[in-house]
Every structure is written in structure tokens, then in C-alpha cells.
Amino acid sequence: MGDCDGAGATAGRGRAPYSSAIVFVAGPGNYLEYMTLRERSEAHAPSQGGAPSRRVIYGCTELLNASGFAAQLAPLGS
């Protein structure tokens, strides 16, 4: 097996934890995903209330509002 431990979010032997990441969704992204990523990056902020120690960039190929999302789900319910 190779070195396949995901994105390296935790420090392994001789490896530093990441300080920045790019999260890209191929398809529709949403506000909940963005806020979850933001909260998780802020959870690693220094205890003195400084800036987050991890920077996360979030992107997606399509960003939907609520009605657009419901329209995409409608065929699944029929």
C-alpha cells in the first residue's frame, strides 16, 4: 500500500499539518458546505483570537439558490 491517508489533515511521521487547502465541488455547491469549512478552519485558530491557522478556498461549478436546488430535486421525487 502507498501513502494514501487522505488529504494529510493530521501530522504523520515527519510530515507537517497543512496550513491551506482548496476544496472544489464538481457540481452544485451550497452555503452549508461553505459554512462548515469555514467553522472547521476557525476551530484551529490560535487561542488568542487571531486569524485562523488554516486557510480554505471553496469553489464549485454551479451555485444554486433554494428554488434552483428544489427544481433539481423535483425529478427525484417523481
Instruction: Write out the three cell numbers for 59.
Output: 469553489
pLDDT category at 52 given cuts 50, 70, 90 is low
The answer on pLDDT for 69 being more than 70 is yes
Given a cut of 80, is residue 38 above it in pLDDT? yes
pTM of the predicted model over 0.75:
no
- 3-state class (DSSP) for residue 71: helix
pLDDT at position 37 is 87
- What are the two backbone dihedrals, phi and then psi, of residue 59, each rounded to the nearest 5 degrees? -145, 160
Q: pLDDT > 90: what percent of the chain?
A: 4
Q: Is the pLDDT of residue 5 over 60?
A: no
